[in-house]
Structure 1
Amino acid sequence: MTIGENTSFVYTKRKGMHITSEPAILYFGTPVVLVSTVNEDGSYNLAPISSVFWLGWRCVIGMGAVSKTVENLLRTKHCVLNLPSVHEAAQVNALALTTGSDPVPEGKKLKGYQTVRNKFERAGFTPEASLHVASPRVQECPVHLEAEVATVHGLAEDDPAKAGRIVTIELRIVKVHVDHTILADGEPNRIDPDKWRPLMMSFQKFYGLGKQVHASTLAEIPEHLYR
């Protein structure tokens, strides 16, 4: 059976078809996250990222060390991780090639970035007050995760060409806000994956999730056992 028989994938499982490859990036597919932080003058910064993963109520994000978001996180120790759905794709895209840094870092300047101070206005998003941190939430996003910085680590410290250029930041989630439309019926503490359609990024392009492709044995474990 080929993978494409039950899905829209165009590739088939054929023996001996692998070749060695050296892609410039390995962004095989992760959720898009809008990280909101507070600038030194009290204004807000908003940065789209896709280098992110969660374990329990901990989250790790990866970003360029000279970014405005990292600067704000190191100073204030808090942020909000806003998860857009596929419906906010155009607004997220409006933030492409923008930075809160002034002047624009050299690496970003080569890619065509420009300084934008009011990113909420640029993307047509609405800032909303958080409960536990000073960073704002993005009202239009279905999920808001208020977070505090736990630890900061350098990445690729063993590579002289990359050392000091990338950081990973472990965040402690302190409050979760979820739009009621993506919750499981009658269960305020469980998100229904059939209702939740996160915006995904794969190799710099936007995608959404499709239908479940196979039953999951792990899904039979009650979620409360992970708490």
Structure 2
Amino acid sequence: MSSAWWLGQRCMLGLAAESQTTTNLQRTKQCVLNLTSDTMVAQVNALAKTTGRQDMSSFKTAAGYIYVKDKFKIAHLTPLASEMVGPFRVLECPVHMEAELVAVNEMNRGEEGREGFFLGIEVKILRVHAEERILRAEQQDKVDADRWRPLITVFQHLYGLSARLQPSRLAEIGEEKYR
């Protein structure tokens, strides 16, 4: 996945049209977004350059991807049953979002030879699971941004977060007003 961003209960995913993840999501109409912490670099790197697709593109073959049937095993992760969708959650991830497919948008329109190569996939979040240790003490249905340290990929490099610099002026607007 190249990108993900959220608005309310919706999430946009940037995926290659040929990936096995995309194929599975379009077939089942369900997925789980397992959000990693900054302690999971080894597991994320164990999954890098792997694919669940046996018939790889020439790009993936040339880039050194390998077919892996059981990604949980290769990354030493534990599958955990979901509550609302078929795909598994990852026990070691501090946040899991069970979701269903809403829409698929072909990207790169008007770029000859690249049309439909990437997809913008909209999913609706059905259920969120978060480790208790990262939740706000006073609001157990909210993640405390000072307690959670997500792993983020920026231009093919893995990053964690530093401490909060200061509140944004937007924090003056009550979170409930955005609903």
Structures share fold, TM-score greater than 0.5: yes
Q: Is the 8 A contact 2:2 2:15 kept in 1?
A: no
Q: 1:137 aligns with which of 65, 86, 89?
A: 89
- Report the residue type matching 2:97 in the other structure: L
Structure 1 counterpart of 2:55:
103
Residue aligning to 1:7: none
SS at match of 2:126: strand
Deviation (angstroms), 1:157: 1.3
Quick one: which of 149, 157, 160 aligns to 2:109? 157
Match of 2:23 among 71, 85, 91: 71
Write out aligned runs for 1:109-128 (5 A). 109-128=61-80
Residue aligning to 1:182? 134
Q: Write the distance in 1 (CA, Å) between the matches of 2:40 and 2:160.
A: 11
Q: How many residues align?
A: 179
Q: Which amino acid aligns with 1:92?
A: V
Deviation at 1:165, TM superposition (A): 1.0
Question: Looking at CA atoms only, which structure, 1 or 2, has the larger radius of gyration?
Answer: 1
SS of the residue aligned with 2:158?
strand
Aligned 8 A contact 2:106 2:119 in 1: yes
- Gapped regions of structure 1 (runs ≥ 5): 1-48
Q: Any runs of at least 4 consecutive aligned residues in structure 1 with deviations exceeding 4 A, and if so which?
A: none
For residue 122 of structure 2, what is the aligned residue in structure 1? Answer: 170
Letter paired with 1:61: L
Using the aligned pairs only, state the percent identity.
46
Q: Quick one: which amino acid aligns to residue 211 of structure 1?
A: A
Residue 220 of structure 1 and its aligned partner are, at CA, apart by 2.5
The aligned residue for residue 80 of structure 1 is 32
Give 3-state SS (helix, strand or coil) of 1:189's partner.
Answer: coil
Deviation at 1:222, TM superposition (A): 2.4
CA displacement at 1:139 relative to structure 2: 0.6
Deviation for aligned residue 1:52: 0.8
Measure the CA separation in 1 of the matches of 2:13 and 2:103.
11
Q: Aligned with 2:101: secondary structure? A: strand
Three-state SS of the structure 1 residue aligned to 2:140 is strand
What do residues 184-206 of structure 1 show as CA deviations (whole Å, max 9, x unaligned)? 11311111111011101111010
Q: Counterparts of 1:24-35 in structure 2 under 5 Å?
A: none
Deviation at 1:89, TM superposition (A): 1.3
RMSD: 1.0
User: Which of residues 145, 148, 151 in structure 2 aligns to 1:193?
Assistant: 145
SS in 2 for 1:117: coil
* Structure 2 gaps, min length 5: none
2:14 is matched with: 62
Distance 2:36 2:28 in 1: 24
* Change over 3 Å in CA distance of 1:159–1:63 after alignment to 2: same
Superposition deviation, residue 158 in structure 1:
1.1
In 1, Cα distance between the equivalents of 2:105 and 2:112? 16
